[in-house]
Amino acid sequence: MAKLTNVSCEYTGGGIYVYTALLNDDVWFMTDFQTYDSYGCYDAPLDVVEADILPDGHINYDGHWKNPSAPLPQWLDILQSLKDAHMDIEFDEVYKRLPANAYCRVGEKDLPPVDKHSQRLETLALIVEVFEDFLERRGIDIPNPDREEDPCASLIYGMDYAELSDNLEDLLVSLGMMEKEEQ
């Protein structure tokens, strides 16, 4: 898993969110969630890079480009880093911009195959996180003995997570949006 620190995500207008983070203490990583291969890795934070103006008036992006020493993060790493940083953004808008296979790395052209079971679990997890973010933005806490054992646990955790996930799965199957999983 990629180490992402100094996380920032800003809405710049026009449906664009610009995400930046220090990747593995090595490069400053940036993506705008517009295409799966849209990213940049630089030797300095984005605001420093964008302040470096060439004589022709263009920003010196190429002069600051730095190839990372480790693989780029998966889209789920980015999403988790936003949650860990408690970013005040509309997560449902960011979710809409994630690839269908959020396990792929930024910049991958060919998405690796994901088995149906893993894809099902990933889909349900993303839906539960939408509920969780909704509750957190409104300051709603759900008392849960499972969560008391893990201070870093999510708002919807343990048996609460399992119950909500199972109910969502039943609903999606009944609506024909998900196939019933074979046992």
pLDDT tens sequence across 90-137: 666 676 666 666 667 787 765 555 567 777 877 888 888 888 888 888
Ranges under pLDDT 50 in the chain: none
**pLDDT value at residue 178:** 84
Q: How far is the C-alpha of 5 from the C-alpha of 31, rounded, in Å?
A: 15
**pLDDT value at residue 84:** 85
Give which of 59, 38, 57 is closest to 49, Cα–Cα: 59
Contacts of 59 (CB under 8 A, 6+ apart): 49, 50, 52, 53
What letter represents residue 154's amino acid?
S
Prediction pTM value: 0.57
